[in-house]
Amino acid sequence: MNRKSITISYSEYNSNNELPAKDKELLDVAIEATKNSYAPYSRFNVGAAVRLANGEIISASNQENAAYPSGLCAERVAIFYANSRFPDVKVEALAVTAAVNGNICDNPTYPCGACRQVLAETEQRSGNKIRIIIGGEKITQVIDSVEGLLPFVFDNLPK
Ligand code: THU
């Protein structure tokens, strides 16, 4: 038996003004996108923004439905839209943030498990790491790759 370990490193910022300019720009788009969230059930307004290698920035928000499972998280709305409009363009980065009553949450809102799985497959498909910016009003974290969010990814289907 071998005990093994995985180390995840990330950058943490205590002010969004300290973020690299491109990360700040993407996070600002995600912050703006929280205003388009349709979340009458959870009242949790999530915004996401994706930067593509062709310079496109796509923004999205969570969209809920009275038949609860029919809703979709902001991250998957953004990624699926990006992949459907630009299937051959690499996804470089995704920013996500959330607001309650119009106020951006202090702490990072991490992508849920299902979004991580979709992000992981997008990363594999593009063949490059996707930078993940998880923004809060007081704390923002930046992870270099989806692998840091989902180390033991399911990717075992027969080829
Ligand atoms: N949600 C997202 O859009 N992204 C996340 O990372 C976490 C959760 C949405 C789903 C649902 O509309 C609401 O937030 C509450 O779970």
Q: Name the region of 147 (left: φ>0; alpha: ψ -120 to 50; beta: rest).
A: alpha
pLDDT digit string (tens) for 91-140?
999 999 999 999 999 999 999 999 999 999 999 998 999 999 999 999 99
What pLDDT, on a 0 to 100 scale, did the predictor assign at position 158? 81
Q: What is the mean pLDDT of the segment spanning 72-94?
A: 97
Structure tokens at 34: 């929280």
CA distances from 14 to 5, 96, 101 (A): 28, 16, 22
Q: What is the mean pLDDT of the segment spanning 35-62?
A: 98
Pocket test for ligand 1, best of 31, 42, 59, 77 (most atoms within 8 A of CB): 42
CATH of domain 11-148: 3.40.140.10
Q: Is 73 in the pocket of ligand 1 (CB under 6 A)?
A: yes
The per-residue pLDDT of the chain, averaged, comes to 97
Question: Taking the domains of the chain in order of start, what are their residue ranges?
Answer: 11-148
Q: Where are the alpha helices (DSSP H) in 8-63?
A: 21-33
What pLDDT, on a 0 to 100 scale, did the predictor assign at position 159? 75
